[in-house]
Amino acid sequence: MARIRATHTSPERILRQFLWRRGAHYRLHVTTPHGRPDLVFKRQQVAVFIDGCFWHGCPEHYVFPRSRQDFWRQKLAVNVERDCRQTVALEHLGWRVCRLWEHQVFEDPEGSARIVLDTLQARIWTPEPIWRVVQVGTLDLDGQIERRHLRELRGVESDRTCIRRRTTHKWRAARILEER
């Protein structure tokens, strides 16, 4: 039953539930100088964003649509650009920006909550690199082989290109909720 409910629950709610249990008191709908994160810890200046795999170019789950490709190409570029700008600008002001993928929260809510807690508590905080798909091109007539360009969100590593077969696989819903 818990699992059925979980599949209909947004990643925000799942993460909030896990953080709440651990006494992490966030605020919702807080506007920062650069955007409106999903969760904010004002005193510690920590902003948490939960990014949708499609809208934000998840390297594992972004699926380049078959139709209106110019529109979607532009949409992805704009979203990733905003995420980069926002993250760097907030960190410049002394915020710690924690960006989680929706699949990450669904698959491992416990681990996701731990990442947020580490961001809150670590004396020295070094974020993991975050890769984004910024562009997808197809290399064959069927559109089955793709060349994907990836960018690291904070620009600490140079762009990458990978070639892979088109997939539309989804993440697994968090089974951990069922066991609790």
Binding site for Zn ion (CB under 5 A): 53, 58, 60-61, 101, 103
Q: Which is nearer to Zn ion, 14 or 53 (CB)?
A: 53
Please tell me the distance from the alpha carbon of residue 120 to that of residue 23, in angstroms, as a whole number. Answer: 12
Min separation Cβ 1 and Zn ion, Å: 26
Which stretches does DSSP call E strand in 35-178?
Answer: 39-41, 46-51, 96-101, 131-138, 145-152, 160-165
Q: Which is nearer to Zn ion, 53 or 90 (CB)?
A: 53
| Backbone torsions φ then ψ of 2, nearest 5 degrees | -60, -35
Q: Which is nearer to Zn ion, 130 or 177 (CB)?
A: 130
Q: Which is nearer to Zn ion, 40 or 176 (CB)?
A: 176
Instruction: Please check whether residue 133 is in contact with residue 149, taking contact to mean a CB–CB distance below 8 angstroms.
Output: yes
Instruction: Please check whether residue 175 is in contact with residue 5, taking contact to mean a CB–CB distance below 8 angstroms.
Output: no
